Structure formats: C-alpha cells, structure tokens
C-alpha cells in the first residue's frame, strides 16, 4: 500500500469517494484519506464541509473516523479549537500515546482549553471528554515521574487534588520548595493562591518534624499571625530549636509585611507573658528580631564598617555642577545620599558647608531629607540626629528644612515606624498653621507614609485623608502618596473609593497624579482583584487617571510576569495619546518582569528605538528595573547607545538604568563598567550639556556606588520573595520625573549585600566562608585619582592604589604571603584588622590573587563574616566543612544567617561593634578609637527661611 500512497499525486480521487452514496465507499474514502492526511491536507481541506456532514450524520457508522480526519485537517489549517472539538468527537480513535506533532499539539491545546475553562467561574460545564484527556495526561506524567510537569498543570488547572497527590508522591521537600518559590507567585487569582498555600501548609504539617521555616513562610502568606506565633513559642521552649526560631524570625522580618510581623509580635507576647522576666531572654530576642531591630543593627554595622565610597567622584561632581541651579544642587544631594545610603557617613556634607548653604527652598527640603537616606535604619537615634532641624515648640522657623526633616525621620524609620514616630508625625500634620504649613505637612505626610508603610492603620489614614481634603496642591500630593503607602497592598475599599472620588473632584493636577500612584500602591500584589478598578480607570478621559490604571497594573502584577498585564501595558504603550501614560506603561513592564529579567531586553528592544522619546526613556527604565544588579549584557547593549540620544531626558533615563544594572560590578567582571563610569563623568563635565542629562549622570554615579558600594537593588528578598517596600520605593523613585524629593524613595530598594552570621546571642562571631572563584571578580573598584586642577580629563583613569614596587613584590610573594596575611588578620584585634585592610600588604595579596587567578582559571578565597558578599558571587559560596559554626538554614548564604556553635564551651571570638551606640552622647569615648572616630554632630548651615 505504501507504494501506492507514494505514487499518489493528488487526493481528489479519494475525496470524490466521499460524494458517493454507498456507506462502504464513503468509509473507504475516509480511511484512505486519514492515511494520507498529512500530505494532502491542503486538498482535503476543500472537502472539509463534506467530512463534517458525514460526522454529523447520526446514521453513519464511522462518524468517529470522520471526526478524526476533520480534526487533523483543522490542525493543519491552524484552527486548534476546531481540531480539538473534532478530536473529542473522535473518541477512542484519537490516540493519546501517539507522539506525532498533531496529537501533541491537540493535547496541549486541550490542556490550555481546560485551564481556561477551569479559571472561568462557570467551571461546571466542562466537557467531560476534555477532562478525560487531561486526566489521562496526568496519569502518564505520574507514570513517568514527571512531577514538576504535573505540578505546573495542576496549579494552572486549579486541580488541588492532583497537586496534593503530586506533592506526596515525589520528593516532597524539594517539591514543596519548588511550589513555594517558583509557582505560587505566578498564580493570578488571589483565592487560588491562598488555597495552594493552605494545601502547602497541610502537606508540610503531615511530616513528623515539619520544616518550620517553610511553614512560617506559608503562614505569613496566608496572613495567619496566630499560628505563626504559636509555632515560634513552641520552638522557643525547645532549647535545640531556639536557633531555628531565630532564623525564622529573621526570615519573617525580611519577607513578610510590617503589618504581619507586628501582629506576630503581639500574639507572641500574649503567649509568652511569664517568660519575659529576665533581661534579653529568647522571647525578647525573637520580638526584637521580628520588629526588625536586629537586622537593621547588623546591616548598619556592616554598611558603616565597610563603607568604600569614593569621595573623589563626589567632590568632582560637586565642583563641576553649578550649585546655584537647584537642579544641579539636587543632583549632588542625591548622588551623596545614595552613595552614603545607610552608612551614617555624612563627611561630604561637613566638607562642603559652603555648597550646602546655597540650597534654597525645595532643594533645602531635599538636602535635609537626604539625611534620612544616609542614616536609614538608625531607628534608635532618629530623633537625636534630626533634632537640629525639627521645629522646636511647634513653631516653624524654616519650613523647608523642617519639612525635609519630617521626611528624613520617615526614611530613617522606613517600614519600622514606632508608635512615637508615627504619633509625632501625625501630630505635625495638624499642629502647624500659617502660610507655610503645607510645606511642613508635605514632609510629614511623606514621612508618615514611609514610616508606617503597609501598616494599614486606619487612624493614620484618616489624618492623611484630612490633609488631602484641604485641597492644597503641595500637601495634598504628599498626603495622597502617604495614603497609598500606609494602605499598601491592602485593597482597602473605602480608601480607594474616597481617593478615586476625590481625584475626579479636585482641580490640582499634582494631587490627581499622586492619587493615581497612591491607588496603585494600595493594589500592590493584588493581581486579578485590581482588574475591575483598572478597567474603570482606563475608561477615564483624564490622562492622569489612565496613568493611575497603568500604575495599578504595574503594582498589582509586580513580579508575576502575567501575560494579560503585559499585553495591557504594551497596548497602552503604543496606543495611548498621552506621553506620560505611554512612558509609565513601558516602565511598568520592568516591574512585571522583574523575576525574569532575561525576557525584558527582547521585549523592549523595539520600543527603545521608538520615535517617541517618552517611550524610549520608559524602555530604558524598564530594562534598568528588571535587570537591576544582573549586569545583563543584552540590556547594556540596548542602553549604551541611548547614552548618546539627542533628547536629554532619554540620556538621563539610560544613565540611571545602566547604573541599576551595573551596580556593584567591577571592571574585571564586566569591562563595560569603566566605560560607563567615564561616560557619566564626561556628561557631567560637558560645559554645554543639558541640565537634565547631567542630573541623570550625577544620580547614576550615586546609584552605581550606592551605600558605600555595599548595597544592590533588591526588589526580591534573599529567599526570592517579592520585596514589597523595595518595589514600591522603586515606583516612587521613578516619580522623580515630576517631583525631585521622591527620588529619595530609592533608598527603600537598597539591600545590603553581606555575609552576616550571628550566634545564639545574636552576636557576629569571626568566621569565614569559602568562595570558589576569582577574588578579583568581586573586589571593590579602585578609587579614581584625585584630579589635577588643570587636567580634568584625567578624572576617570582608574589605577590600583598600590605602587609599582609593591605590585612586583606581590607577584613574587603571592603564594606565600596570602595565607600568612590571613592568619595575621585573624589573630589581631578588630581595629588593627581594619587597618591591615588598607595597608599595602593586603593590597599586595589582592593583586597577587588576581594574577594567580588569571593563570589558573579558578581560584578560591575566604569571605569573612560581616563583609561584602555579592549576589552573583553566592553560587560559588561553600560553607567550609568542619568549621566551628554551622548555619541553621542551608539553602542560602546571603542575608542574615543564624549559626550553631559546635563547640559551645570554648570562648568565642566575636566581631566587636564599631558603631557608636549613640552618636551624640558618646562623642568623648569614641575619640580614642582613632581612625574610626564617629563624626561630630553636624548641622546644615541653613538660614531661616523667613
């Protein structure tokens, strides 16, 4: 028969059989056609109606064959819906075990259809034949042990029964982790997400000794503080599990919302009332960890100790930018704030008092608020630090710096607003009257929002609402943003309605715009729940409300990679008539895809070449946000040409995006870094250049060296969870387009990159972790040379700060010197150890290691506790075997780790805190510490405004 089939050049003869009257002839024709369908489908497709008639003819005994043939033809025609329908009609003739493209495609389509039907509300009326096909696919996967596939389909089809079966039949622990880390956040319906979390919780609890870290993560997602507190109390009682309780508390603090951790703390206190008699009991420690105090302290310590800011860059920029222009003044302020974010180092301000005094009105506001960024996390001393700028006795003398101080107070306490801070700021909202009250209120609203972020406090919201309804453009704008921050991610209905109604009522563009951002924040992470409101906002004629819709999509689907959201944003990006909406829509893509940064360059490549500069700058920011910290080469390739864009604000956007992407990279790792840094410098230097481009370049210099070169942009936490404050901070940062002071919100996105291990007393012991890679890849970039006055072109020349002689010596002695240097470092006390780091000796070993690495290809080196550990370095990290300290949690090395001491009786070698306990009071004591002397209390040399 095969020879005949090959001989056939046309199927018309066979097709003509279908028109015969005899059943046998028709059947013969069908079976012959079925055999040759893959070759002659084009011809047969002309007779498709005839085949369908045969299928619909109830009296025809071979209807199923007709259905199979019709299905094949529709498959070849690309009509998969029809192909599936007829395949269902073909019954048993449709062979699932076939591996042909036809069967595969139809089965895939069947699953897709099933998913679509299951996600629709009327899931009752699903074709039972369709369900049968999917069931059979599940069975096959189970037979082949392809559990990941089953899990994926089960979640998409919302078949929790199948999901549970898959979880219990495979390696449950790793599957649970897979679902928690990779799958749950991609579910676009909140209810299903909760169902899955509950299922995970259930499966976890089936173990004899559950993995409590994962369980608590589940509970935090389910927002169940009672159970979490119960588990923690239970663990605290057990001496063996105390350390893992600490670890859980650290993780919860990093991953869960402020509202949740507060609830856990209060539940936990009621559970453990009697235990809290002695000082620093485990219960108190847990509370302190949960409230974030411990993490902040550790991070502060790390950032202060390792601060590697290159002051030359900053001084150079400051010199070149004309500080009489407020734009340029702001640029320097931001560069300084970002470079020193969280380090508490304010030397630059001290050294440039004259520059500072040139700040006027809002740049004074920004400059004061910058203190908040620099001292971010110093919650103990927040008030003390800002005392000189806060208004005394409720009488305002200099509203701009006082307003800025309110904002700074919020930034210092970001996400950790204590009662006193919140009530102080709340008080500030109503205490001040007079013509400048709105400036103070502006600062207070922003501060209140930042400190109380995500707390959902109705009381705070009400006082902000009152400010909003006063209808002052300046204070109303901040109040709207504050509302959004307080109610972040809450989907709080009455607040949303009030905001939307007011947005339609007010005449102030600033307020509407801020409301549109605020409403987006309230919908953070709410996915499909935001859809109705988004649709309503999209229908509005006012472009600012459509902008709100864009922000809402961005925030609601942040980090989900949801296809619908992407489609909506892409549509808006090319079809909306308002440039602002377009720009925000393109930028939003970056937020939505921030977990799959490799997709973004491809998606925005065309947009980055748009004729419309707003779309271009949006594309740049999207790349920057999604690829932040990844060093993605594809993204750099798109962004680099944009630095030469004829439109100034595109250059600004591209600079910032490049800074995001290249943050913490050195020249050895990514050679482009030097070029980009040089480019920033030359943009600033260019005398005839545009102000906005210079602003962008200066801010970018701040970002690329942010936090003393020790922080990255962390939109996800170390455990891979979405970091809500960071995402929100990033969105607010992009609003600097309209209002410069909002750029400070970027500080919320900074995440210290450190190896921090603590023992049972929450103190950091001296320990080391091996890194199986070349040290040079992760070294700090060298400082730029102090420029010679006459030759500013030399600025960017980068050379190691070691002499040629030392280098030669290093080459010879590298092998022998290195371990010795290490030993020395260890044996010496902390203060001298810090000195050793700066001495030529350690620089020698560094350059030696670099040279050795190039020869051998690989190398290993040790990373000390409390020093920098880059995110892209983490996969090379290995906990040394047989070390004294063993981490409680094995899955990661970054973030705060609790370690178990294997020889608890030996005395511990702890890293002493170098951070002054109170910078104001302990002035005299610290003078003895020499090099690490804390800064003098410092005041901005501001005159009074009026």
Partner 1 sequence: MSARTINKLYEQTYAALNSQNPNLEAIGKQVSQLKVGVVKLAIQNSEIEADSSFQLLKRGVAELGAQLSIKIGDIAAFERYLAQLEPYYFGNRMGLSDSDVMYPLIGLNLLRMLSDNLIADFHTMIERIDLEQLQNNPFIVHPVKLEQALMEGSYKKVWQARSDVPTPEYLFFMDILMSTIRNEVASCVEKSYTSLPFSDAKSVLFFSNMDELLKFAQDHQWIVSPAEKRITFKSDAEDTHLFQGENIMKQTLSYAQELERIV
- Which residues are near partner 1 by CB under 8 A? 1, 3-4, 7-10, 12-13, 15-17, 19-22, 24-25, 27-28, 31, 573-575, 577, 606-607, 609-612, 615
Return the number of other C-beta atoms located less than 10 Å from residue 916's C-beta.
20
Q: How far is the CB of 21 from partner 1 (least distance, A)?
A: 8
Q: How far is the CB of 523 from partner 1 (least distance, A)?
A: 28
Burial pattern 285-312, b for ≥16 Cβ within 10 A else e, equals bbbbbbbbbbbbbbbbbbbbbbbebbbe
Residue among 275 and 570 whose Cβ is closer to partner 1: 570
Of the candidates 534, 561, 559, which has an alpha carbon nearest to the alpha carbon of residue 548?
A: 534
Contact 329, 921 (CB under 8 A): no
Q: How far is the CB of 585 from partner 1 (least distance, A)?
A: 12
Q: How far is the CB of 738 from partner 1 (least distance, A)?
A: 24
Q: 711 pairs with which residues across the strands? A: 752
Q: How far is the CB of 16 from partner 1 (least distance, A)?
A: 4
Of the candidates 639, 696, 635, 704, which has an alpha carbon nearest to the alpha carbon of residue 666?
A: 704
Euclidean distance between CA atoms 44 and 38, whole angstroms: 10
Contact 317, 324 (CB under 8 A): no
Euclidean distance between CA atoms 665 and 676, whole angstroms: 11
Q: What's the first-to-final CA gap in the chain, in angstroms? A: 102
Q: How far is the CB of 638 from partner 1 (least distance, A)?
A: 14
Residue among 44 and 134 whose Cβ is closer to partner 1: 44
Residue among 31 and 891 whose Cβ is closer to partner 1: 31
Q: How far is CA 448 from the centre of its chain?
A: 23
Euclidean distance between CA atoms 223 and 221, whole angstroms: 5
Of the candidates 361, 328, 371, which has an alpha carbon nearest to the alpha carbon of residue 439?
A: 361
Residue among 20 and 820 whose Cβ is closer to partner 1: 20
Residue among 24 and 922 whose Cβ is closer to partner 1: 24
Residue among 19 and 95 whose Cβ is closer to partner 1: 19
Q: How far is the CB of 541 from partner 1 (least distance, A)?
A: 18
Please report which helix (H) or strand (E) contains residue 349, including its range: helix 347-351
Residue among 601 and 887 whose Cβ is closer to partner 1: 601
Residue among 560 and 608 whose Cβ is closer to partner 1: 608
Burial class (CB in 10 A: 0-12, 13-18, 19+), 578: middle
Rounded to 5 degrees, φ, ψ at 100 are: -65, 160
Contact 66, 53 (CB under 8 A): no
Rounded to 5 degrees, φ, ψ at 690 are: -80, 145
Q: How far is CA 13 from CA 18, 136, 788, in A?
A: 9, 38, 91
Q: How far is the CB of 577 from partner 1 (least distance, A)?
A: 8
Residue among 8 and 692 whose Cβ is closer to partner 1: 8
Q: How far is the CB of 586 from partner 1 (least distance, A)?
A: 10
Of the candidates 338, 294, 246, which has an alpha carbon nearest to the alpha carbon of residue 913?
A: 294
Please tell me what DSSP assigns to residue 313.
H
Q: How far is the CB of 564 from partner 1 (least distance, A)?
A: 20
Q: How far is the CB of 571 from partner 1 (least distance, A)?
A: 10
**Helix, strand, or coil (residue 23):** helix
Q: How far is the CB of 5 from partner 1 (least distance, A)?
A: 9
Of the candidates 605, 565, 562, 602, which has an alpha carbon nearest to the alpha carbon of residue 585?
A: 565
Q: Concatenated DSSP letters for 603-627?
A: HHTTGGG-SSHHHHHHHHHHHHHHT
Q: How far is the CB of 399 from partner 1 (least distance, A)?
A: 45
Residue among 517 and 619 whose Cβ is closer to partner 1: 619
Return the number of other C-beta atoms located less than 10 Å from residue 19's C-beta.
11
Euclidean distance between CA atoms 407 and 400, whole angstroms: 11
Label the pairing between strands 755-758 and 895-901.
parallel
Q: How far is the CB of 617 from partner 1 (least distance, A)?
A: 14
Please tell me what DSSP assigns to residue 487.
T
Residue among 18 and 320 whose Cβ is closer to partner 1: 18
Q: Concatenated DSSP letters for 490-555?
A: ---HHHHHHHHHHHHH---HHHHHHHHHHHHHHTTT-GGGGHHHHHHHHT-SSHHHHHHHHHHHHH
Euclidean distance between CA atoms 500 and 515, whole angstroms: 8
Q: How far is the CB of 613 from partner 1 (least distance, A)?
A: 12
Residue among 605 and 785 whose Cβ is closer to partner 1: 605
Residue among 21 and 688 whose Cβ is closer to partner 1: 21
Query: In sequence order, which residues have a C-beta less than 8 Å from that of residue 347 and are 6 or more positions away?
Result: 311, 935
Q: How far is CA 262 from CA 81, 233, 279, 377, in A?
A: 51, 15, 21, 17
Structure tokens at 880: 């040394």
Residue among 10 and 59 whose Cβ is closer to partner 1: 10
Q: How far is CA 148 from CA 112, 145, 166, 171, 199, in A?
A: 17, 9, 8, 11, 16
Contact 553, 584 (CB under 8 A): no
Euclidean distance between CA atoms 212 and 196, whole angstroms: 17
Residue among 95 and 609 whose Cβ is closer to partner 1: 609
Q: How far is the CB of 578 from partner 1 (least distance, A)?
A: 12
Q: How far is the CB of 20 from partner 1 (least distance, A)?
A: 7
Structure tokens at 111: 């699953």
Q: How far is CA 630 from CA 518, 594, 625, in A?
A: 29, 11, 10
Residue among 12 and 462 whose Cβ is closer to partner 1: 12
Q: How far is the CB of 583 from partner 1 (least distance, A)?
A: 13
Residue among 17 and 834 whose Cβ is closer to partner 1: 17
Residue among 54 and 533 whose Cβ is closer to partner 1: 54
């Amino acid at each position: 028969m095969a020879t005949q089939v090959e001989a056939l050049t046309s199927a018309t003869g066979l097709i003509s059989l279908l028109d015969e009257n005899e059943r046998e002839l028709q059947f013969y024709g069908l079976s012959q056609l079925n055999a040759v369908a893959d070759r002659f489908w084009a011809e047969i497709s002309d007779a498709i109606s005839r085949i369908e008639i045969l299928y619909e003819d109830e009296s025809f005994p071979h209807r199923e064959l007709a259905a199979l043939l019709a299905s094949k033809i529709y498959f070849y025609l690309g009509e998969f819906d029809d192909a599936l329908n007829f395949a269902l009609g073909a019954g048993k003739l449709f062979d699932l075990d076939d591996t042909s493209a036809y069967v595969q495609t139809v089965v895939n389509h069947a699953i897709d259809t099933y998913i679509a039907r299951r996600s629709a509300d009327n899931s009752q009326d699903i074709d039972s034949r369709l369900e049968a096909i999917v069931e059979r696919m599940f069975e096959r996967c189970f037979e082949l042990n392809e559990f990941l596939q089953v899990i994926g389909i089960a979640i998409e089809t919302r078949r929790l029964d199948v999901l549970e079966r898959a979880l219990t039949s495979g390696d449950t622990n790793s599957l649970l982790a897979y679902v928690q880390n990779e799958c749950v956040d991609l579910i676009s319906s909140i209810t299903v997400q909760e169902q899955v979390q509950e299922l995970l919780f259930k499966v976890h609890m089936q173990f004899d000794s559950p993995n409590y870290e994962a369980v608590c993560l589940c509970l935090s997602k389910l927002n169940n503080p009672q159970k979490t507190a119960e588990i923690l109390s239970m663990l605290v009682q057990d001496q063996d599990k105390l350390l893992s309780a600490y670890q859980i508390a650290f993780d919860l603090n990093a991953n869960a919302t402020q509202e949740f951790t507060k609830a856990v703390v209060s539940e936990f206190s009621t559970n453990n009332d009697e235990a809290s008699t002695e000082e620093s009991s485990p219960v108190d420690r847990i509370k302190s960890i949960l409230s974030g105090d411990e993490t902040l302290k550790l991070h502060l310590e790390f950032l202060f100790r390792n601060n590697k800011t290159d002051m030359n860059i900053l001084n150079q920029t400051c010199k070149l930018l004309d500080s009489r222009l407020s734009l340029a003044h702001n640029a320097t302020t931001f560069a300084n704030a970002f470079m020193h974010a969280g380090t508490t180092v304010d030397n630059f301000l001290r050294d440039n008092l004259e520059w500072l005094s040139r700040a006027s009105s809002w740049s004074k506001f920004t400059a004061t608020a910058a203190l908040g960024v620099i001292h971010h996390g110093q919650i103990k001393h927040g008030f003390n630090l800002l005392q000189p700028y806060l208004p005394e006795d409720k009488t305002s003398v200099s509203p701009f710096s006082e307003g800025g101080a309110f904002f700074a107070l919020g930034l210092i306490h970001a996400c950790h607003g204590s009662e006193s801070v919140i009530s102080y700021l709340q008080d500030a909202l109503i205490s001040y009257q007079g013509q400048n009250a709105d400036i103070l209120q502006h600062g207070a609203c922003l501060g209140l929002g930042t400190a109380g972020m995500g707390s959902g406090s109705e009381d705070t919201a009400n006082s902000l609402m009152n400010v909003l309804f006063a209808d002052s453009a300046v204070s109303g704008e901040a109040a709207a943003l504050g509302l959004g921050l307080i109610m972040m991610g809450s989907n709080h209905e009455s607040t949303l309605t009030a905001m939307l109604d007011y947005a339609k009522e007010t005449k102030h563009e600033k307020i509407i715009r801020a409301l549109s951002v605020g409403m987006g924040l309230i919908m953070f992470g709410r996915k499909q729940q935001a859809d109705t409101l988004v649709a309503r906002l999209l229908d509005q004629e006012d472009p600012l409300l459509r902008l709100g819709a864009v922000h809402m999509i961005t925030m609601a689907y942040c980090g989900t990679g949801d296809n619908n959201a992407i489609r909506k944003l892409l549509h808006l990006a090319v079809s909306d008539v308002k440039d602002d909406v377009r720009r925000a829509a393109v930028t939003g893509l970056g937020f939505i895809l921030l977990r799959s940064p490799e997709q973004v360059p491809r998606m925005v490549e065309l947009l980055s070449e748009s004729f419309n500069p707003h779309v271009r700058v949006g594309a740049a920011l999207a790349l920057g946000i999604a690829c932040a910290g990844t060093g993605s080469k594809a993204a750099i390739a798109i962004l680099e040409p944009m630095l030469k864009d004829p439109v100034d604000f595109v250059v600004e956007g591209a600079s910032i995006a490049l800074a995001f992407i290249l943050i913490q990279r050195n020249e050895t790792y990514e050679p482009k870094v030097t070029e980009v840094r040089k480019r920033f410098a030359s943009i600033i230097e260019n005398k005839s250049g545009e102000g906005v481009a210079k602003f962008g370049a200066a801010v970018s210099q701040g970002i690329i060296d942010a936090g003393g070169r020790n922080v990255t942009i962390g939109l996800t936490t170390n455990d891979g969870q979405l970091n809500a404050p960071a995402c929100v901070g990033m969105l607010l940062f992009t609003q600097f387009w309209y209002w410069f002071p909002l750029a400070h919100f970027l500080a919320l996105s900074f995440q210290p990159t450190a190896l921090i291990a603590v023992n049972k007393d929450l103190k950091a012991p001296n320990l080391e972790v091996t890194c199986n890679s070349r040290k040079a890849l992760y070294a700090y970039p060298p400082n730029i040379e102090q420029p010679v006055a006459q030759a500013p072109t030399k600025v960017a020349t980068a050379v190691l700060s070691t002499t040629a002689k030392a280098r030669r010596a290093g080459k010879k002695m590298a092998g022998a010197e290195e371990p010795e240097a290490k030993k020395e470092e260890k044996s010496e006390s902390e203060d001298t150890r810090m000195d050793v780091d700066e001495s030529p000796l350690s620089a020698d070993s560094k350059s030696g290691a670099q040279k050795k690495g190039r020869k051998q290809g690989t190398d290993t080196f040790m990373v000390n506790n409390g020093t920098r550990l880059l995110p892209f370095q983490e996969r090379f990290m290995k906990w040394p075997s047989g070390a004294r300290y063993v981490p409680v949690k094995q899955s990661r090395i970054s973030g705060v780790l609790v370690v178990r001491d294997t020889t608890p009786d030996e005395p511990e070698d702890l890293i002493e805190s170098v951070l002054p306990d109170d910078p104001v009071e302990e002035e005299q004591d610290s003078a003895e510490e020499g090099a690490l002397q804390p800064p003098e209390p410092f005041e901005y040399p501001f005159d009074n405004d009026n």
